[in-house]
Chain A
Amino acid sequence: MNTRDADPGRGNGERGSPGAPAAGVMSKLVSRVRFTAMQARVGVLVLLCVFFTIRSPFFFTSTNLVNVLVNGAVIGIIGSAMTLLLVARQVDVSVGSAIGFAGAVFAVIARDYGMAWGVVGAIAAAMAIAGINAVAIIKFRVNSILTTLATLVAFRGASKLVMDGRAVRVEGFRFLGRTRFEVGGIEIPVAVIVLLLVVAVFYVLMRLTKYGQQMYAIGANPQAARLAGIPLERQVGIAFVLTGATVALASMIVVSQVGAVSPTTGERMEFLALTGVIVGGASLYGGRGSVIGTLVAILILAVLDNGLVLLQVQSFWQEVSRGVLLLGAVVFDQLGRREAEVRMDV
């Protein structure tokens, strides 16, 4: 195999370690910065909730809050996998198209052969796309943005082919998207439970396991990771397969929620997820990010969407506000990094 060092992406690691127990003075400072960033995220979320509660009598009701969670569920599920990818300096922008394609395959097969085969088809479709992405990135060493941009375009078209360009209805698939369990007088939708499970799984994977530790190393310094004997290709490949699994799950939730699949199903979800992941503290330069940060960020975005609708603000403002948040997060990230650099020179 070729040994021209490491990955397509180069450059040195960025700040934000996964699990170094903080006790040293410097690492205390560094972790305090991270803690503040996390606090800032939670603070923004709380402030938004307070603001919308004051301005609208409908916001702080259990029905509405559950709606907020439901609206964030699909993005949160794919956002969890996206966080893992960004930590290892990879990205997958094909997830929206993949959700559309897996949904289309699901709908068509379910219509003709029954629901169980539809589920199998959706999983196979999502895994096929993940496999194509992984092979192109690992075997042919194509940059992950370019690879997944190509699959984004191709599978948007493919799903239109599968559906003959028309929406397909899916009847009687309620469980993932519409079933609710009563917990303490509040009806919790299955989708929200799935979201929390996915976040928990990715949390454990990234913070507590050898795999997670190696993914942070790969993102922070791919050359060092390779020289240390970490199997970069295998670990990154696993992350794309995990992304495929979350796509399969997300596509079934979407189909179940909407009861139909259209040629635009899943469109722009990659951008919503990526926005959440970056507002959540991950960096395209790798080595940084956490699923908890992503979860909080996606809740911020969901609350914002919901609140602006309740206040009957023109919907264009939702997009503007999302962009402002993203810009704010990126600037905040850059400021934090400068600070770290200054500290290093002390």
Chain B
Amino acid sequence: MTYVTVPDAPLLEIRGLSKHYGTIRALDDVSFSLDRDEIVGLLGDNGAGKSTLVKCLSGAVIPTAGEVYLHGDRKVFSTPAEARDEGIETVYQQLALVDIFDIPANFYLGREVVRDGWRGMLGILNRRLMRKRARAAVEALPARFPNLDADIETMSGGQRQVVAISRAGFWGGRLLLLDEPTAALGVKEAAAVLEMIGAMVSSTETDMAMIVISHNMEHVWSICTRLLILRQGRLVADLPKSETTRQEVVAHITGATA
């Protein structure tokens, strides 16, 4: 897919983004920009506003104020579908899978393919095509994948996580938002998922960037190139990984700045 681009503009730029719930400032005047091939770790305590930031970018939440630019082009998303059409793929903290569907049906959730001709006009699904494409995508993945035909409800937490992340990878896009992709995973599972995420960015030829949220600093540290730290809705630090230490990051998260 091709998008409108302004030369030399960053892939993503956010200016003064805020989201208020009544008197709660879930997100307060946040600005930063993101270049292609960057994997940014977004850190912060519970309630710091990480999920709110992701939802503002994915169209799930409408910001109270602020602007979002993709490749220099101003975007306003009022639904998740609009953000998706601009190449923003999101893995939500609550995964957003339909338990009673299998993997292909979840991959194509909201983007179901209908058949050609008159059947398509009646909205008849092309299940075989969706299955074929999902299978091809799944087989190309590094992670050992659960059975394609199994319904999500029969899967473990780790398998569900893999399905949700693979769905985002399946559709590609230019900005991948991962909210707690390794939460509730065992050590081995988390490592596999992180490896898969890293491979996803480096394997695509197109411009792509990623924001990864995690409570687990080791997980973020292992794959990201830069760290953003939120505290009480405000962006308190924006650090290249090469120029910081774990201690400094923890200090920013907790507010005990040295």
Contact = CB atoms under 8 A, between A and B. Distances in A.
Interface of A: 1, 3, 12-27, 30, 204, 208-211, 213-214, 216-217, 220-221, 223-230, 287-288, 340, 343-344
A230 B109 contact: yes
A24 B98 contact: no
B153 A13 contact: yes
B24 interface: no
A225 B151 contact: no
Given A19-B127, A26-B150, A229-B80, A224 B109 contact: yes
A23 B104 CA distance: 13
Nearest to B124: A208
12 contacts: A3-B61, A15-B153, A20-B100, A208-B124, A216-B100, A216-B101, A217-B98, A225-B109, A228-B96, A229-B81, A229-B110, A344-B154
A343 B154 contact: yes
A87 to B, nearest CB: 11
B28 interface: no
A1 B79 CA distance: 9
B147 A24 contact: yes
A13 B110 contact: no
Contact of B125 (A27, A208, A229, A344): A208
Question: Which A-B residue pairs are the 6 nearest by beta carbons?
Answer: A229-B81, A228-B110, A24-B149, A26-B154, A13-B99, A224-B96
A21 B131 contact: yes
A27 B102 contact: yes
A226 B90 CA distance: 13
A221 B112 contact: no
Residue from B94, B101, B150 having most chain A Cβ neighbours under 10 A: B101
B127 A25 contact: no
Interface string B108-151: 01111010000000111101000100000000000000011111
B62 interface: yes
Contact of A226 (B80, B123, B127, B131): B80
Interface of B: 55, 58, 60-62, 78-81, 84, 90, 92, 94-102, 105, 109-112, 114, 122-125, 127, 131, 147-151, 153-154
Contacts, number: 131
A288 to B, nearest CB: 8
Given A26-B154, A225-B109, A227-B60, A210 B125 contact: yes
A22 B151 CA distance: 9
Given A21-B127, A230-B110, A225 B81 contact: no
Contact of B97 (A27, A213, A221): A221
B20 to A, nearest CB: 14
B102 A20 contact: yes
A12 B99 contact: yes
Contacts of A23: 149
Given A225-B110, A230-B110, A13 B98 contact: yes
A17 B151 contact: yes
A94 B61 CA distance: 35
Given A3-B61, A21-B127, A23-B149, A225 B154 contact: no
B149 to A, nearest CB: 4
Nearest to B100: A17
Given A15-B100, A209-B122, A228-B109, A22 B149 contact: yes
Contact of B101 (A3, A25, A217): A217
A10 to B, nearest CB: 12
Given A18-B100, A19-B125, A30-B151, 13 more contacts: A3-B60, A3-B61, A17-B151, A20-B105, A23-B149, A24-B102, A25-B150, A209-B114, A221-B98, A224-B96, A228-B110, A229-B80, A344-B153
Given A3-B60, A211-B123, A224 B154 contact: no
Nearest to A226: B80
Nearest to A211: B123
A3 B61 CA distance: 6
A222 B114 CA distance: 22
Given A20-B102, A229-B84, A344-B153, A210 B97 contact: no
B125 A26 contact: no
A220 B98 contact: yes
Residue from B80, B100, B101, B114 having most chain A Cβ neighbours under 10 A: B100
Contacts of A225: 98, 109-110
Contacts of A16: 100
A5 B101 CA distance: 20
Contacts of A340: 153
Contacts of A217: 98, 101, 109-110
